Structure 1
Amino acid sequence: MSSRPARLIIALALVAGFLSVAAPASAETPGWVPRAEDHPSTATTADVRVPMSDGVSLLADVVRPVDADGQVVTTPLPVIVTITAYSKTVLGSPSGATLGGADPKKLVKRGYVQVTVDARGTGSSPDVWQVFGEREQLDAAEVVEWAAAQPWSNGSVGMSGPSYMGISQLFAAGQQPEGLKAIFPQVPGGEVYRDIVASGGQLNSAFMPLWLGLVNLTGLVPPSSGTVPPEETFRTYVSRLSQGVPGSAELLGGAILGGETAHDGPFYEERSTLLQAVPTVEVPTFLVGGHYDVFQRGTPLIFQELDQRGVDVKMVLGPWDHLEASAGRGLEDAGYGTLGELQLRWFDHHVKGLPDPTLDSDIPDFTYFELGSQQWKQRDGYLTDQTAEVFRLSGTSTPLLGGGELTQGPVADGTSTLLPIPVAGLCSRSTRQWTAGVTGLLLPANPCDTDNRLNDLTGAVFETPPMTEDLPLLGPINTRLHVSSTSGDGLLAVSVSRVDAGGRVERLTGGWQVISLGELDEQRSVRIDGEIVQPWHPFTAESRRTLEPGEIAPIDVEVFPTGAVIPAGDRLRVSVQSFDVPHLLSPLPQLLSSLAVTTIHTGVQHPSQVTLTRAGGGIDAATVDAVRDTLASVDAAPPRADLLTSLLGALTRFGG
């Protein structure tokens, strides 16, 4: 008997047995539905000054509900805070919807106040942008405490927003400011260097210039209210042009030239939520992540840390790029309503204090879209019951022709050559991912987003025979390659893909590693069943070691996490290139050495392998919906209703 039917039979048997003694027939128990608006419209007060402890005042827009008589509601209300680097004026415009997430006015019409603040040195706020530096982190907590103390606030505060706004929430929550009750970070980052700045040790040449340009450009949008004196606006512009733009250029240029910001260290550690904030976050947290997001790596790690500490945390991981996840596009397909409805439910319970006894049973802790089956899966946690699944690379792969194998049996010796082809990666899902989804807007039907076979011709390909049974995956992946190089350096760009019966190559995820930065910190690496599934490299200048030309060494490549299944009949593929354009670019001091010819060695003496994180149990969304429908058709008077709710919650997590 397969595991899923077995779980279904057990689940239905438990329900049937419980209902046979539990509930007399009566009216249907309704599920959660979004409540109606309390107020017909909103009013905005722009450019409100928010004083910080160092004397600088940030600028905020405050949106409050307006009643049927056209009067601003004066009753103190709970507050939702958003801190942005993309200009509150831009976020408040129709064009800012993708950047800002759900429409905050929908919450305001239901009895909230929305406060949107320009981070220090961005938008209309004065001073110099710190890029999440220590002072900016302190600002985040002080903004929350300011909002909690205003006369239109009842002292209860939540926070919302994607990307930069999500990271700001974590930095605020980590300081445990007075009044903060819950946060809702979409696509936040965990470890800045590894997640996005220099994945694998090369520089992100796609997203980082785009992002820095966006912050600096929106910083030139003038204040919207007309109440800011012209001389103050002029000083802000001068600061942007004399300090902000040069500062961004210096940051970017220093990394390109191989300076301090080209390596991990204090600068990035100060700005990493997993180090500075997440260990002290205590408030209920709802995370949204994407399989193809720029923070694909970091967001699940944040969930895992909070979940292990017992924080009330939930996460939905969907098939989205950064812009899609930021806008909440398609979130309703997970079965919990739109982004706005999900935020309303979260904040109503945790910030407004409205009872919601079925919240936990309706929404399990971890929900993810399984690539390959195209189904939503629900679990009680993220890395909870997985096992390590190892496939060894075998034989030789020839450019254009392939021929390498992935096997769990005997391996053949082989050498596979990677040529420095500087267009590798261009025709792949990687391009859309690391431009944050912008290319998806420009070319929505780009075949490179859905089929990786053309890109794979530029590298070495290793593939299993057709699977005899489903191989479900959830979590990070490690590819350990024994390699040599003509220069002793170079990039290993790894793709893990599913090959369907028609030959289409669906790129599930990828990973990258500079050979000279391959020093492994085994203490910080994640193991399952004794196998490393998520390697951790220091990426410091001191850890860099260039191999001798021709020297063979094992290099662990961290492949970012995925949630997928390789169905029976399909093939698992690992392909390796020496470039990932336009995503990654070598710092100039290593540029020539990155143009090397690299060789992958396989066989008994050089055991190259891929270690996958195989998913365990859990009940898919269809099963949960069937059980929920059964429970909803039966009337249960208290305390039976509470017992049914608990049972449903248990069933959602059964086997997970």
Structure 2
Amino acid sequence: MSTLSVEPFEITLTDRRGRTLRADVFLPEGEGPFPTLLAASPYQKSLRRLPVHSVFAFVEYGPMQLYLDEGYAYVILDLPGSGRSSGNWDPVSIEEGNAIHDAIEYCARMPWSTGSIGMIGQSYFCWSQWNAARTRPPHLKTIVAYDGATDLYRDWMYHGGISAQGFLGTWLIGSVLLQHQAEGHDIRGGGRNEVMADILSHTLDDEWHRRRSPFWELDKVDIPVFSIGVWGKAGLHLRGNVMGYNKVSGPKQLLIAEPDSFKGAQVLFADESFHRDEILPWYDYHLKGTTNKVMERPNVRYYVNGAGRYDQATTWPPENVQASSFYLSSVRSGVVDSLNDGSLADAPVTVERDSTSWSYPDPQWVAGVTTFQNGVPNHTARITTFTTPVFDTEREFTGQGVLVLHASSDQTDLDLFIKVTVLPVLGQPGVPRKVTQGWLRASHRHEDPQLTRDIQPFHTHDRIDPLVPGEVYELRLELLPMSFVVKPGQRIRLEITNHDSALLDQPMTHWYGQKVGSDTYWHDAAFPSRLILQERPAD
């Protein structure tokens, strides 16, 4: 059980739309008033009693007792349409942000609060922070945005235009609907049962999505922001943490932390030492006025995967990166069991005609793209791969990346599921290590000219441009933020398919749909398909 030294009391307020909002308030010992931390989610304040564990993935409050001991009031708000608050649940909408705004201002007027309000929490609690910040509550002094997206369409609902229904189902049904039912609520109450249909009905980035994507208004946020991403949540939140950091206009810092899994991200946020080292000093400075050196920390800090160290920069991507290209080729690498075992070369391919074709769904797929050989799973045997020669020196790739792929199909659309992995030294122990990934539906290839960068395409997702069967198209696929080293003897492998591995990719899996056909990837002198990664020069 998750116990605290004090019992909460419940407050009730009415927001600007007349909805009744309820929150639990935990006050520290001693005379107030106190600086106040507010956490807001649809996960029901009554569930705070549950321990931090992966089976309770929604327990994401952080070490509350630490903050009580340090003299902070801690408020847990049930969002409209959830828990004990009235109204309909409209997830991460601007209307929900306005409700949080009203709760912040209500708390600021209470005799137990100094009026200096910060926000706290992970994942949905972090969405609530971005969402409230864009409404600019006068008494919101800072947010610590730990592990939370900012553009819900691109960050997770529709990766590259493809529905991420695997996470949608486990999150919406498991963490919200069934948990409400278990607490005695009608799962049809508050419009909660309608959210799935709403998400699946809005397949393009329309006004419904814009209302629940704080990204578009974060340039108005000028309060101090500490954005913390986690490598293990790259397919759900990391892109949002990085894009949010770059978009806000006030004092800011970015930390990309080490954990390589969903569970690791949750455990880190519950770790008192992590909060004492990283987050508590931020709140102390901005909410208490404590003199410390927190604002002297580097603007950007990130864990370098494979190197076992944290590094720093003044910007993201780091200011001294350069683009390095690896060109796809049909020449066999001789090291990967896959449909084609192609290569990645440092120089452009000069042959006049070179391509890789494959058909789907593959008859040997068992668990998504994964097959089994003598009971052992093989994740690459029935997909296409392109692999570099062994590296002779250590190289660091940090920042953004893009796959420029020339492709054709016998269908009017095609999907791309991309992974970049580092292979262990041949003959030595170890497993391939995924370092970045991305997705794109070809009919969503149109890019926003204002937001696109050479190394980072930004797709509009506001239109469908079908393919003409047999015609070759240049597709530019955004890769998620990355930082990793490749050591001597290791290789980089690019994986391309149109489906997830049910074993490796949970919970961020996608709807396969009705895809039947054949695709061809072109990589020759006329169509120089290439993987481009930002590389940080050696010291």
Separation in 2 of the partners of 1:102 and 1:243? Answer: 27
Q: Please name the residue that 2:505 is paired with.
A: none
Is 2:189 the partner of 1:248?
no
Aligned partner of 2:19 among 40, 46, 56: 56
Is 2:524 the partner of 1:567?
no
Q: 1:585 to 1:378 in 2, by over 3 A?
A: closer
Separation in 1 of the partners of 2:270 and 2:369? Answer: 25
Separation in 2 of the partners of 1:45 and 1:410? Answer: 65
Which 5+ residue runs of structure 2 have no aligned equivalent?
Answer: 371-375, 503-507
* Counterpart mapping for 1:180-579 below 5 A: 180-213=140-173, 214-220=175-181, 222=183, 237-238=185-186, 240-252=187-199, 255=200, 259=201, 261-276=202-217, 278-293=218-233, 294-306=236-248, 309-328=249-268, 337-356=273-292, 358-361=293-296, 363-383=297-317, 384-395=319-330, 400=338, 402-411=340-349, 412=351, 413-421=353-361, 423=365, 426=368, 454-502=378-426, 504-526=431-453, 532-540=454-462, 543-579=463-499
1:368 aligned counterpart, secondary structure: strand
CA RMSD of aligned residues (A): 2.6
Contact 1:488 1:515 in 2 (8 A): no
Separation in 2 of the partners of 1:614 and 1:425? Answer: 34
Contact 1:102 1:327 in 2 (8 A): no
Deviation of 1:401 after TM superposition, in Å, equals 5.6
Separation in 1 of the partners of 2:188 and 2:88? Answer: 11
Separation in 2 of the partners of 1:420 and 1:46? Answer: 58
Aligned partner of 2:96 among 119, 136, 140: 136
* Counterpart mapping for 1:161-172 below 5 A: 161-172=121-132
Separation in 2 of the partners of 1:380 and 1:510? Answer: 25
1:123 aligned counterpart, secondary structure: coil
Aligned residues: 510
Contact 2:61 2:270 in 1 (8 A): no
Q: 1:331 to 1:460 in 2, by over 3 A?
A: farther
Contact 1:291 1:320 in 2 (8 A): yes
Deviation of 1:220 after TM superposition, in Å, equals 3.5
Contact 1:424 1:458 in 2 (8 A): no
Q: 1:490 to 1:215 in 2, by over 3 A?
A: same
Separation in 2 of the partners of 1:461 and 1:90? Answer: 45
Residue deviations 1:94-148 (CA, integer Å, cap 9, x gap): 2578522422121112211111101111122111101122221101111111111
Aligned partner of 2:118 among 158, 166, 186: 158
Amino acid aligned to 2:398? L
Amino acid aligned to 1:196? W
Q: 1:150 to 1:221 in 2, by over 3 A?
A: farther
Amino acid aligned to 2:238? Q
Deviation of 1:41 after TM superposition, in Å, equals 7.1
Contact 1:124 1:219 in 2 (8 A): no
Separation in 2 of the partners of 1:209 and 1:279? Answer: 32
Separation in 1 of the partners of 2:475 and 2:160? Answer: 11
Separation in 2 of the partners of 1:121 and 1:350? Answer: 32
Deviation of 1:395 after TM superposition, in Å, equals 2.3
Separation in 2 of the partners of 1:372 and 1:379? Answer: 18
Is 2:538 the partner of 1:614?
no
Separation in 2 of the partners of 1:87 and 1:483? Answer: 47
Which 5+ residue runs of structure 1 have no aligned equivalent?
Answer: 1-39, 67-72, 223-232, 429-446, 449-453, 527-531, 619-656
2:306 aligned counterpart, secondary structure: coil
Deviation of 1:203 after TM superposition, in Å, equals 0.6
Separation in 1 of the partners of 2:134 and 2:417? Answer: 35
Separation in 2 of the partners of 1:174 and 1:165? Answer: 15
Amino acid aligned to 2:305? L
Contact 1:461 1:576 in 2 (8 A): yes
Contact 1:103 1:340 in 2 (8 A): no
Deviation of 1:380 after TM superposition, in Å, equals 2.4
Contact 1:485 1:550 in 2 (8 A): yes
Aligned partner of 2:51 among 62, 80, 94: 94
Deviation of 1:584 after TM superposition, in Å, equals 4.3
Contact 1:319 1:371 in 2 (8 A): no
Residue deviations 1:240-264 (CA, integer Å, cap 9, x gap): 4255243124225xx2xxx4x1111
Deviation of 1:500 after TM superposition, in Å, equals 2.0
Separation in 2 of the partners of 1:534 and 1:400? Answer: 28
Separation in 2 of the partners of 1:424 and 1:508? Answer: 25
Amino acid aligned to 2:39? T
Separation in 2 of the partners of 1:101 and 1:570? Answer: 40
Deviation of 1:87 after TM superposition, in Å, equals 1.0
Deviation of 1:79 after TM superposition, in Å, equals 0.7
Contact 2:161 2:444 in 1 (8 A): yes
Deviation of 1:502 after TM superposition, in Å, equals 2.6
Q: 1:127 to 1:92 in 2, by over 3 A?
A: same
Amino acid aligned to 1:382? W
Q: Please name the residue that 1:634 is paired with.
A: none
Q: Please name the residue that 1:443 is paired with.
A: none
Deviation of 1:217 after TM superposition, in Å, equals 2.5
Separation in 2 of the partners of 1:616 and 1:311? Answer: 28
Moved more, 548-557 or 399-408: 399-408
Deviation of 1:425 after TM superposition, in Å, equals 8.0
Q: Please name the residue that 1:28 is paired with.
A: none
Structure 1 residue ranges (4+ consecutive) displaced by more than 3 angstroms after TM superposition: 95-98, 329-332, 396-399, 421-428, 581-587
Separation in 1 of the partners of 2:313 and 2:305? Answer: 16
Residue deviations 1:8-67 (CA, integer Å, cap 9, x gap): xxxxxxxxxxxxxxxxxxxxxxxxxxxxxxxx974233432122122222111100123x
Deviation of 1:416 after TM superposition, in Å, equals 1.1
Amino acid aligned to 2:344? L
Residue identity (%): 23
Amino acid aligned to 2:397? L
Deviation of 1:388 after TM superposition, in Å, equals 1.1
Q: Please name the residue that 2:42 is paired with.
A: 85
Deviation of 1:285 after TM superposition, in Å, equals 1.6
Amino acid aligned to 2:223? V
Separation in 1 of the partners of 2:538 and 2:42? Answer: 41
Separation in 1 of the partners of 2:274 and 2:367? Answer: 34
Aligned partner of 2:526 among 585, 605, 608: 605
Contact 1:89 1:221 in 2 (8 A): no
Separation in 2 of the partners of 1:350 and 1:595? Answer: 56
Separation in 2 of the partners of 1:314 and 1:577? Answer: 32
Bigger radius of gyration among the two: 1
Contact 1:303 1:315 in 2 (8 A): no
Q: Please name the residue that 1:621 is paired with.
A: none
Amino acid aligned to 1:85? P
Separation in 2 of the partners of 1:109 and 1:558? Answer: 44
Q: 1:425 to 1:536 in 2, by over 3 A?
A: farther
Amino acid aligned to 1:464? T
